[in-house]
Each structure stands twice: as structure tokens, then as C-alpha cells.
Chain A
Amino acid sequence: MSLLSIRDLRTEFSGPAGIARAVDGVSFDVEPGEIFGIVGESGCGKSATCRSILHLFGGAPARIAGGQILLEGTGDIARMTERDLSRVRGREVAFIFQDPLTALNPTMRIGKQIAEVIRCHRKVSKTEARAAALDLLREVQVTSPERRLDAYPHELSGGLRQRVVIAMALALRPRLIIADEPTTALDVTVQDQILRLLRERRDSTGTSIILVTHDLGVVSQICDRMAVMYAGRVVETGSVRQVLDTPSHPYTRALLAALPGQTGRERDLTPIEGSPPGLISPPPGCRFAPRCRFARPECAVGQPPALHPRGETAHLDACILTEVPDVLA
């Protein structure tokens, strides 16, 4: 059984212009010990999906409107009360936010911030928690960790700060770590180190990781399986090899075609012609239809097409074509 099964998840943001269905029927599975990549253009609902898992919307007017988030052995997180959630958060599922500067409390020493997650779930003394925090800093390869314990976030470099955030995430050996663009706010030179650290920690602790990124290169390097999202929905999912080597959904193909080839470092998703639809009243049928070069009249009617198997097992996509023409770009 999968560690995490998300089924038909729906998350809405209500605003003055109406209700934005940021996550509109998302389904995917995360297996134990794997790194699961989520990619897609800005605003397609990657963060909203991740945040739904722990009900953390940063005070935004968001709510989970439907679907299930099944954590193995724990049940449906989508319907949990705050009280029950607080037992899952930090202990079973941890979160790594994009910007480690804003993700750390600026007025609290980092040792205390790490100790907090331990003391919140286990009855340990301050000294024990501090010792554990020190061990965690060593584990994430922070240099001179004793000195860092009493530092404030602004006194550390971006890379060190993200290591601190990772240390907090690892503290209670959660089964799942959600990392929402953990390197986007960092210098290019430290991005690799942080990703390597994450993979290494996965290798030695066996935790699963959901990794949101804009960088398909990163996905192909460190992820095992992945999902491609478009306008609040998953359009293709499978193993990284299946999706990146034999992409079947026209959107995935367009994404790959838009890459500047080879191993260039700048592998951010170059936007495809046109822009994604608004999420308040998206067009009927396939949401990619207005930009899809293979679109047919029947694509733009009714419900968005559901994910269905494409060739090999566990390679799913949401295109109505039985055979997508095999031409790139």
C-alpha cells in the first residue's frame, strides 16, 4: 500500500473575484522511501496541493472542499480536526518551505526552534532537546554546530538556514517530508548541496519526500516518480523515466520541448505559448485545450478528462487521444 494516497483532492481559495479552485481533483500516490516530484507552471496548484496535506494555508482564505488524503495507518487527513492534525504535523509529516529566511522565526535562536519540534511531541527536558538539536545540526552537516545553536536566523547564510529547516523536518523521523521548492530561494551554488542532502537523508532514514520544483533536471536527477500539474489538475504521472523519456500528455511534451536542450543549468520551465486558464472559471473539458496543438472539438466539452493508464502500468495521463502523435515541438 502507498504511504500517501491523494484522491480527487479539491482545495478552494475564496477571494473578492470568486472561488479559485486551486486544486481541482488531484490524485497521486507516494510510495514509502521514494522522492516524488511535482512540476508545473507557476500558479498551477503545486503549493496548494502540498499545503492541503497539512492544512497550512498561511492565513489565506483556503479550505479543503473535497477528496481524501490517506496516510497509511493514520487515515484521512483531509477530514482531520486541528487537534488530530497537530499529532500528524512534525511527527508523521514534516514541511520544508521555500524561503528559509521567512520560514524561521527571526527573533528566536535556532537551537530553540529545532528543540521546539521535539519538545512539542516528546516529553524531554530542555537540555535533552538541545542535545538532540545539536545532533540534528551535525546530521545536516552544519559546520561548528555548537556555535550555531545560539545563532539567530539572520546570522546564517541561506544554505545554512535551509539546513536548519531540514534539521527541524528530520527531527522526529517523519514518514513523509514535503519540500515546496526548497532551493528556489537559494544561491545556485548551494542548491545542489541541499538537494544532495535531502536525497542522502532519504537514503539513510527511508523517509518519503514530495519535492516541488520548477526544474525538470532536478526531477530527472533525484526523483523516483513524478506528477505533472496543469491548472489545478494532474495531467500525467508515473515513474520519472516513463514521464520524462516517453511523455504521453501533450502538455508534458510541450514542457520538455520548451527546454533549452542538453545539460544547461537554466532549466526552468519556459512558458509555452499562451498562458494557463484562470482557476475561478476554467474552460470546460481539457484545460490545456486552448494551448494544445493536438486539440480537437471534443477536447473542450464536459468534464476535464480523467487520468487513465497509458501503455505501461502506473503511467497515467489525462488526454483523450488514444494515440498522441509522436512529434516534439
Chain B
Amino acid sequence: MFQVILKRLLMLVPVLIGITLIGFLLLQVMPGDPASRAMGTRASPEELEAMRRLWGLDQPVWVQYLYFLRDCVTGSFGVSIFHKLPVIDLVAARLPFTLGIVLYSTLIALLVALPFAIMAALNRGNPVDSAIRQVFVVLIAMPPFWLCYVLILWLALGLGWFPTGGVGDGFAANVYRLFLPSLVVGLSTAALIQQSLRSALIDTMKADYVDTARAKGLNGRAVFLRHILPNSLISTISIIGVRVSWIIGGTVVVEKIFSVPGLGSLLIDAIVSRDLPVIRGLTVFFAIMVVIVNLITDICYALADPRVRLE
């Protein structure tokens, strides 16, 4: 197991070299000059020139790429032009909030999806099932920004139960403050999980081993809890995995609206200020995260289903 994990991590290297290359080249063709962005419009040409030299922007492209590779290997991922800090430090400061939203929203999603998936599967084909489906279809169709504003207007400004945004100090404060952003992200996750779990449940209910379990004399409840549910949940592992990789870089809108200093807002700010090192560093970092989340997903799969081996 350990060796397999190590092997998988080593396989990361060629992937990352590819990602760095693509990320680097894409940014080369992006319009806008980082130096003038950083210095403002009143900077003299000499000052700009000095700035470019300082950041290595005057070097040939391939040299810049090699510098970037060096920064990745040494772990700094480059130095932010805007913040004047190593990218890794910026990431480290923001990662907890993004991971917080990832875990929190997934938890909310499971709590919402599980009962409704079970209810829908047990009532498949009848009005309860279609009512639940309608609600979740609406949830998926709602644009996140709109949902954010509805929740802010209703729960934050209207009822005053939650702050309109920002983060707090410590775990408890953030459980409270990150609730609304996590809810927005979690509801779409819930819709995905509900749909896949519902059909997994319905498929599993037809499995022969469910008949075997009933033939043993187990009552419906025991058959459901011991055989149907556990086997159905396995298939949601991959859904959650895909969703988590997406959330890590994809919560830009939610983070912006709720003023959460996470990776998404870091990326947006970097793009706006043409902070090339940050954009590049984040690209590579996101790629690493996707691979790691995939690995964790596969490990969970292998642990949950004895037929699956980690490869």
C-alpha cells in the first residue's frame, strides 16, 4: 500500500512538468505588463525597466521558465510581485479557509443528500421521489452567486443569524462564519450526491445479495442498513472526489461574495494585478491538489471495496 502510494506520487512528476509548461506558456500570451501594474501608471520608464530586471521579466522566456521550475522544486513556487512574498506563504495562509469550505460543504452535502436520497429511493417512481428530484434540479440550476445573495439577504441581513461575510479567529468562530459560503457550495454538492446515491440505492436494491439477505430472515431495516446502504455509498466516493478537486480552485465566486480569503480569491486578485508568479504557482499547486485528492479518493475506494486494489 505504502509503496503504491509512493509510486503514484512519483508519477506526479511528469504530469507536473507538463502543467508547469502549459501554465507558463499560457501566461506568456496573456496581455498586460506586470511591472506597470505593480508600479502604477506614474512610474518612469527607468523605474519600470528596473522593476522588470528585478523580477527577471527581461530574461529570455526559457530562462524565465527555468527560474520558475527552480522555484517549484525549492518549494517557494515563486515570489509574488504584488505581495512581495513567496507564493507558498500566500497559499499556506489561505489554504485553511479553502480546505475548511471543502470539508464543511461536503459534510453539509452529505447531511442533506443522505436522507433525501434514501427517501427518494424508497419512494421511487411516486410523487415523493419526483418532488425531491424537482427540488434538487432547482438547486443545481440556481447560479451560485444568486444563491449567495438570497442567503445573505435572508439569513444574514434579514434574520441576522449569520454575518454577511469575512472569517474569524479560531475553529468555532469559523464554523459559524463559514456556514453560509459552505452551504452554497454544499447544496450543489448535495444535489450531485443525492442523484447518484439515489440511483445507486435503486440498483443495489435489485442485487441478488439483497434477496439473499432477505432470504436469511433479516428485516427490511437490517437489510437496508447492512447491505443496501453501505454498498451504495461506495459509488458516491468518486463523486465526492471529483467535486472536492473542483471546489479547491472553483469557489472564486463564493469566496469573493463572502470575503473569504481563500485560494479562489487569491487567484482572482493575482489575475487582476497580473501577478504572474502567483498565477503560475497556483496553477501548479492546484494540479498537485487534484492529483492528491485523486489518490485519496482511490485509497478510500480500496478501503471501502475489497474488490478494488490500489494501482
Contact = CB atoms under 8 A, between A and B. Distances in A.
B211 interface: yes
Contacts of B227: 105, 108
B212 A165 contact: yes
Nearest to B222: A120
Nearest to B218: A120
Contacts of A58: 206, 208, 210-211
Interface string B207-237: 1111111111111101000110011001000
Contacts of B305: 106-107
Contacts of B210: 58-59
A99 B217 contact: no
Contacts of B217: 86-91, 117, 120-121
Contacts of B213: 105, 116
A86 B220 CA distance: 9
Given A86-B219, A107-B307, A117-B216, 6 more contacts: A59-B210, A60-B206, A83-B219, A95-B212, A97-B208, A154-B306
Contact of A56 (B215, B219, B234): B215
Interface string B168-205: 00000000000000000000000000000000000001
Contact of B209 (A89, A105, A117, A152): A105
A56 B207 contact: no
Given A59-B205, A59-B206, A152-B306, A116 B211 contact: no
Contacts of B208: 58, 97, 99, 102-103
B207 A102 contact: yes
B287 interface: no
A58 B205 CA distance: 7
A89 B215 contact: yes
Given A86-B217, A94-B215, A168-B216, A104 B209 contact: yes
A82 interface: yes
Interface of A: 54, 56, 58-60, 82-83, 86-91, 94-95, 97, 99, 102-108, 116-117, 120-121, 152, 154-155, 165, 168
A152 B309 CA distance: 13
Contact of A154 (B209, B222, B234, B307): B307
A107 B231 contact: yes
B239 interface: no
By Cβ-Cβ distance, the 4 closest A-B pairs, closest first, are: A90-B217, A102-B208, A95-B215, A117-B216
Contacts of B306: 106-107, 152, 154-155
B238 to A, nearest CB: 16
A150 to B, nearest CB: 10
Contacts of A107: 230-231, 234, 304-307
Interface string B294-307: 00000000001111
Nearest to B219: A86
Nearest to A94: B215
Contacts of A154: 306-307
Contacts of A89: 214-217
A82 to B, nearest CB: 7
Nearest to A59: B206
A12 to B, nearest CB: 18
Among B205, B214, B217, B304, which residue has the most Cβ atoms of chain A within 10 A?
B217
A99 B209 CA distance: 10
B215 A90 contact: yes
Contacts of A97: 208, 211-212
Contacts of A155: 306
A74 to B, nearest CB: 13
Nearest to B125: A61
Contact of B231 (A56, A94, A105): A105
Contacts of A102: 207-209
Nearest to B304: A107
